[in-house]
A and B are shown apart, each in its own frame.
Chain A
C-alpha cells in the first residue's frame, strides 16, 4: 500500500501575536472543506432513495461531481445527473457536459426549456433571458422522476439570500423555499426526512467561496470548459456587461458587436451571463485575477440578479436552485 499522508499545516501557521502553534493534526482549509462536502454527499447516499446531481458544466457543479467521484471511489457514483437546458447554453459547455457524462459512465437527465416554449407551456420573455424559465422544467422533472434529493452547486458566498440557505433545504411539493420555515441545522446532523412529494435540495458546497473553488480546481487539476479562460469572442455591451452575440436574440439594433479578449466567471444562460475582459489563459492567472478583483462573480456577470434587490430570493422561493 501507499503511504501518502495529507499535508499538515505544521507548527508554522498561527504562531503570530498571542497565538500558539496549531496542533499537528490540523487540516488545510481546502482539505477541511473537501472532507465536509464528502460527508454531506455520503449522507445523501445513505438516507435517500433517488438522489440526482444538478450538473450544468459550470465550475461549481464540476467540483461537486468531483467530490462525489471521490466520495465513492473505487465504486461508481450512485447518482444520476440532471441538466436544465435553457436552449441558450454555450456550445462548449454542452460539449464538456456530454464528454464528462460519457467519461464517468453516468446517466444524464435533461429538462429542456425549449421544449416547454415549443409546447406553449412557457412563453419567451421580452428581455430574452431564459434563466427564470428554468424553474418549471426543473420542478416538473423532479416530480416526474420522483427525485427525493437534488444536489445543487450553490454557495452561500454567492448572494445574500443564499447565505441563509441550509445545507439540507426541504422543499414542498411545489419545490418552494420558505426562508422563515427552515429547519435549524445543528452540528453535522442533517435532517433529510420529508413527506412523499416533498424533496430536499442539498448544497454540499455551501461553505466554499469562489476562490476556494478555483484553488481546488487547480489542486485537483480538473479540466474545465474553455470559456472559463481568456479567448477572443464576438460580444456586445448591454447593461454594462459583455454578452455573446448569438441565436438567442442578441444584439438588438444599436448594440454594435466587437471582438474582445474575454473569459467567463460563471456559466449560465447566454442571454444573461456576461463575460469579463481578461487575459487569463491559465488556472494560475485566473486565480490571480479573482484575487485582485473588486467585484463579486455575480455582480460581474449575472444580469438576472440585478433585476431587483431580492431577485435571487424570489426565484428560490419559486423553486429555483
Chain B
C-alpha cells in the first residue's frame, strides 16, 4: 500500500482520528519505529530531514539518525535519550493520527500512563531476540490498567532472528496469553524490523509466512472505539452560559463536553449530586441547534426547568444514573516525586469538579512485574501503582473506570502548590479475563490474535 504525508483535503475531511501510544524499553528500537513510521509514511518534510542530516553530520555520523526527528529538547539531543512524552502528528488518506511518543527510560510508568490515558491503541515493542521480558509485562499491565481498547504487539528486530516464524509465534503466543489474563480485549501481533522497514509501512519481502497487516495498515483500519456513544450519557457541566443581553435576556445554557453516550432533546435528566430533575429543552452544538448530540461533542444544554446548576455538576439521563459517593476505592498511578501517604489531605479533580479529600487507606501496592499485591505499603512513591481508599468532602457522581475512562478517572493534587500527585481510576484494577477462545489450530490465516 502507499501513503502520502499530506493528503488531499476532500479525503482528509472525512477521516477519523486515531490516538495511539508507543511503549518500549530503551533498546527495543522504539525511536527507530517512530522515525520509520513518520519517514516511510512521508510525514517528514524536506527541511526537517535536512535538519536531521545536518545535525547527524555535525556529530560525525554518516547516516541520518532518525531519532533526532523526535528528540526535540536540547538535553535529549545532548544525552541521546528521550526525556518526556511528545506528541506527533501524521496523516494518510484513510486516517489522521496523534501519536503519544512515550520514553521507555526512567520514570517509564508515569510516562506510559500519561501517553496511554488518551490512547485508543497501544503499540508494545519487543525485541525478537529477547522475547517477552519484565518490561513487556509492565507495558501490557499498564495498557490493561488504563483500559486501552486495542493493543498491538510489535515483535521488532526480526532481521536479527533470520525472519523466522517460530520465534515470532512463540513470543506472540506468550504475550497474548499474558494480556488475556489481564483482560486486554484484543491483541494484534505483527513481526517487524523497524531498522529495515519490514511490515512497518511496507509489507515485508522476508516474511511470506505472515499474512496480516503492516503496522500502519492496522493503525489505519482498526475500529476506533466510538462505543462511548453506547454508554449511558454523562454530561459534566463546565460553565454556565448566561448572555443577559437584549437579544438573549433569558438564555441559560450549561456548557460542557459529552463524556459518554447520547443526549436527546426531550429526554428526562437528573442533575447530580443535587438529584434535581428536568428535561432537555434544547441542545446547541457550538451555536447550532440540534436534536441529538453524542460523545465527545462539546455542546450547550438547556433545561426546561430553572434549577440551580453550576460547574462541577453532572447531568445524566434519569434512567441511567451513576453512583453518588464520598468514598472512592480506586487504583492510582503515583506520578509525583514526593510520596502519597495514608492520612494525607489532597484535592481530587474529577471531570469538572475539584473537591477536598483525604487518603484513608493504601491497602496494597501492585508489583507490575508479576502482578502480585504488596499489602499495606503505607505510602506510594513515584511510578508506584496502588490501591487507595479516599474520602471526599463532597459527594461525587463517579462511574467505574471500566465503564467510562472519562467519568471514572481523577487526579489527586497537592493543595499546597498544585502539583499533580496521582492519576486515579475508580473501581477494579483489571478487567476479568475473557472466556478461553475456541481450540487453536483451526485458523492458520495470519496472526490477527
A contacts, CB < 8 Å to B: 1-6, 9, 13-14, 16-36, 38-39, 42-43, 45-46, 70-76, 156-157, 159-164, 170, 179-180, 182-189, 191, 193-195, 206-207, 209, 211, 215, 218-219, 287-288, 290-296, 299-300, 309-310, 313-314
Minimum distance in angstroms from A214 CB to a CB of chain B: 8
- Determine whether the beta carbon of B248 is less than 8 Å from that of A74: yes
CA of A272 to CA of B305, assembled, Å: 56
Most chain A Cβ neighbours within 10 Å, of B51, B96, B352: B96
Chain B's closest residue to A20 (CB) is B223
Cβ contacts under 8 Å, A194 to chain B: 418
Given contacts A23-B229, A291-B8, contact A184 B423 (CB under 8 A): yes
Chain A's closest residue to B69 (CB) is A160
Residue in A18, A193, A195 whose beta carbon sits within 8 Å of that of B218 in the complex: A18
* Interface status of B276 (Cβ within 8 A of chain A): no
Chain A's closest residue to B50 (CB) is A299
Cβ contacts under 8 Å, A211 to chain B: 6, 9, 12, 91
Cβ contacts under 8 Å, B212 to chain A: 18
* Interface status of B134 (Cβ within 8 A of chain A): no
- Determine whether the beta carbon of B223 is less than 8 Å from that of A19: yes
- Determine whether the beta carbon of A313 is less than 8 Å from that of B74: yes
- Determine whether the beta carbon of B220 is less than 8 Å from that of A16: yes
Interface string of B243-255 (1 = CB under 8 A from A): 1010110010001
The 5 closest A-B pairs by CB, nearest first: A193-B418, A160-B72, A299-B47, A19-B221, A25-B229
- Determine whether the beta carbon of B221 is less than 8 Å from that of A16: yes
Given contacts A163-B87, A163-B88, A209-B89, contact A6 B239 (CB under 8 A): no
* Chain A interface mostly: loop
Minimum distance in angstroms from B284 CB to a CB of chain A: 7
Chain B's closest residue to A283 (CB) is B9
- Determine whether the beta carbon of A9 is less than 8 Å from that of B16: yes
- Determine whether the beta carbon of B420 is less than 8 Å from that of A191: yes
Cβ contacts under 8 Å, B73 to chain A: 160-161, 164, 179, 310, 313
Given contacts A33-B17, A35-B257, contact A180 B298 (CB under 8 A): no
Minimum distance in angstroms from B106 CB to a CB of chain A: 12
Can you offer 29 A-B residue contacts whose CB atoms are under 8 A?
A: A2-B290, A4-B290, A14-B16, A19-B221, A19-B222, A23-B225, A28-B13, A28-B15, A32-B16, A43-B238, A43-B352, A46-B238, A71-B286, A72-B239, A73-B287, A74-B243, A74-B248, A75-B242, A75-B243, A163-B72, A163-B86, A164-B86, A183-B419, A184-B110, A188-B257, A191-B418, A195-B418, A287-B9, A299-B51
Residue in A39, A161, A191 whose beta carbon sits within 8 Å of that of B413 in the complex: A191
Residue in B111, B417, B448 whose beta carbon sits within 8 Å of that of A195 in the complex: B417
Cβ contacts under 8 Å, A28 to chain B: 13-16
CA of A188 to CA of B15, assembled, Å: 22
Question: How many A-B pairs with Cβ below 8 Å?
Answer: 284
* Chain B interface mostly: mixed
Most chain B Cβ neighbours within 10 Å, of A16, A18, A156, A159: A18
Minimum distance in angstroms from A320 CB to a CB of chain B: 15
CA of A230 to CA of B328, assembled, Å: 59
* Interface status of B167 (Cβ within 8 A of chain A): no
Chain B's closest residue to A291 (CB) is B6
Interface string of B272-299 (1 = CB under 8 A from A): 0000000000101111111110111110
Minimum distance in angstroms from A187 CB to a CB of chain B: 5
Residue in A34, A179, A309 whose beta carbon sits within 8 Å of that of B83 in the complex: A179
Using A25-B295, A73-B284, A163-B72 as known contacts, list a sample of 5 further A-B pairs with CB atoms less than 8 Å apart, ordered by residue number in A: A19-B223, A35-B297, A71-B255, A179-B73, A195-B417
- Determine whether the beta carbon of B16 is less than 8 Å from that of A184: no
- Determine whether the beta carbon of A189 is less than 8 Å from that of B83: no
Minimum distance in angstroms from A165 CB to a CB of chain B: 9
Cβ contacts under 8 Å, A4 to chain B: 285, 288-290
